[in-house]
Amino acid sequence: MLQLKVRLQAIETGKPIVVLNEEDIKELGCHLGDRIFISSSGKTVTAIVDASTSFVNAGEIALFEDVKESLDVKDGDVVSVNPAGRPKSIEFIKKKLDGLKLSDHELRTIVQDIVDNNLSDIELSSFVSAVYVNGYDMDEVVAMTNAMVETGDHVDFGHGSVDKHCIGGVAGNRTTMLLVPIMAAAGLRCPKTSSRAITSPAGTADTMEVLAGVEFTIDELRGILAKVNSFMVWGGSVNLAPADDKIIRAEYPLSLDPEGQVLASVMAKKKSVSASFLVIDIPVGKSAKINDMTRANDLARKFIELGARLEIKTECLITDGNSPVGRGIGPSLEARDVLLALDGKGPLDLVNKSLDLAGALFELSGRVQAGDGRRIAEGILSSGKAKKKMLDIIEAQGGNPKVTPSDIAIGEYTYEIQSDLKGNVKFMDNKLIARVARAAGAPKDKEAGIYLHTKVGDVVKKGDTLFTIYAKTESKLTDAINLADKSKPVTVGGLILGKVT
């Protein structure tokens, strides 16, 4: 046991780490990466010895805000320090590295430690790597899903709610914002949480935020739901399956995206809001996340099996993900598309895809007969009922219920990218379009992004505008133009696939 003087570092690290002098680490019989108990006036926390440094003198311990908060100490206080053991999770992570199947209890223990920030980056990364290499079987996916749900808030919004999810990877594609008002207008309960952009120019939450608030407490969400039978909010503002974000942070540096973890992540979010019927959009295409039908079908089957085991009736639609859906890319440009679509003037592909998804969800929920879904969805949209419901949702979430497409501010710095030859638009690369829109400032600058003047198949002349870039500042516009010139996200002609010499 050592008595050490607290030296406070006034930042949060999000990790339970402390820094000691090398001599004190030896005196404790510890090493970097070991856990210690830190006690002060009756309180004890566990922290990980993350670094030893001559900047912390022997007899001192450097604490960051996270540990300071839980321990309620101030600079100069003296704390007791004792070696602590490893959490059980470590053993289970090693088991997964060894290729063995984890039990419900073992996965639950790991997820609890992740949620409680008990694991170091090294330990968390080992878990993520183990899952990437050795995968989960379906039992493990179910256990992981339940563990992620149980370690967060979960809200019973009542049996019979409908929900929708998209695997992502397609620019634009703001179908949720048409589907939700259509379902809710038909009287179906639709509590929808969405994500913000990670590597895309906009998530549904970013786009919805152009029109209304997206961050609410669970009680506020109950109120909104009672009023308008639905909501469209940012999932991150409520504590649903909080393990997910922490796991994603460790997956991000190596772009690890193990299928089992994706399945659990998606379904945990749905289970946390007690969804009963779920339609999943799986876009397939050259520049989408999923590139071939075999993988798409395989993933779809797994989602359906997982849904069955979680008592969420699930259907998957494999969709054309070769190019962006809609014309606007970036929060405000997408929000404008959505409002136009609710007025019957939106991009045809966006409207059509949304109606197909809504139709499928109507049929899945048993609300309408097989074959009638799409027609009924179309009726709700063209009657103006979906628009009215959308304005009600916007009002319930604190937005302007009289908003019109022309109210939406779009970036004032613009530049038109033109075709340098005559021909058919052959290909639009989702990833490159996304990158140019992000260079222009999206999603941070809501008014930044891209507007597509052409779609795949269109005939263009030399000098016709392919797309317009919108930005909030001149320097970001320049960045986006340079990237567009270099990367050429839209291909005109391009029937020559390769040259053999």
Which residues make up the interface to a second copy (CB under 8 A)? 1, 9-15, 19, 26-27, 29, 31-33, 50-51, 53-56, 62, 65, 86, 90, 93-94, 97, 99, 120-126, 128-130, 132-134, 198, 249-250, 252-256, 438-439, 443-444, 475
Helical spans, DSSP H, in 84-187? 88-97, 104-115, 121-134, 138-150, 176-185
Q: What is the DSSP string of 394-448?
A: HHHTTS-TT--GGGS---SEEEEEE-SS-EEEEEE-HHHHHHHHHHTTTTTSTT-
Give the nearer residue to a second copy in terms of CB position, either 130 or 390. Answer: 130
Give the nearer residue to a second copy in terms of CB position, either 125 or 468. Answer: 125
State the residue for tokens 């997982």: 306
Give the nearer residue to a second copy in terms of CB position, either 125 or 146. Answer: 125
Q: How far is the CB of 79 from a second copy (least distance, A)?
A: 17
> Bridge-partner residues for 315, per DSSP?
279
Q: How far is the CB of 375 from a second copy (least distance, A)?
A: 43
> Bridge-partner residues for 61, per DSSP?
6, 20
Q: How far apart are CA 70 and CA 34, in angstroms?
A: 19
Coil, strand or helix at 142:
helix
Can 257 be counted among the known catalytic residues?
A: yes
Q: How far apart are CA 389 and CA 385, in angstroms?
A: 6
Give the nearer residue to a second copy in terms of CB position, either 120 or 319. Answer: 120
Catalytic pick among 153, 245, 257, 298: 257
Give the nearer residue to a second copy in terms of CB position, either 129 or 146. Answer: 129
Q: How far is the CB of 329 from a second copy (least distance, A)?
A: 15
Give the nearer residue to a second copy in terms of CB position, either 312 or 439. Answer: 439
Q: How far is the CB of 224 from a second copy (least distance, A)?
A: 26
**Beta carbons of 33 and 49 less than 8 angstroms apart:** yes
Q: How far is the CB of 210 from a second copy (least distance, A)?
A: 16
Q: How far apart are CA 347 and CA 460, in angstroms?
A: 18
Burial (CB count <10 Å: 0-12, 13-18, 19+), residue 11: exposed
Q: How far is the CB of 133 from a second copy (least distance, A)?
A: 5
Coil, strand or helix at 191:
strand
- The CA distances from residue 453 to 204, 384, 416, 439, 476, in Å, are 22, 26, 10, 19, 21
For residues 137-176, one letter each, b for 16 or more C-beta atoms within 10 angstroms of the residue's C-beta and e for the rest, the string is eeebbbbbbbbbbbbbebbebeeebbbbbbbbbbbbbbbb
Q: Cα–chain-centroid distance for residue 340?
A: 25
* Positions marked catalytic: 257
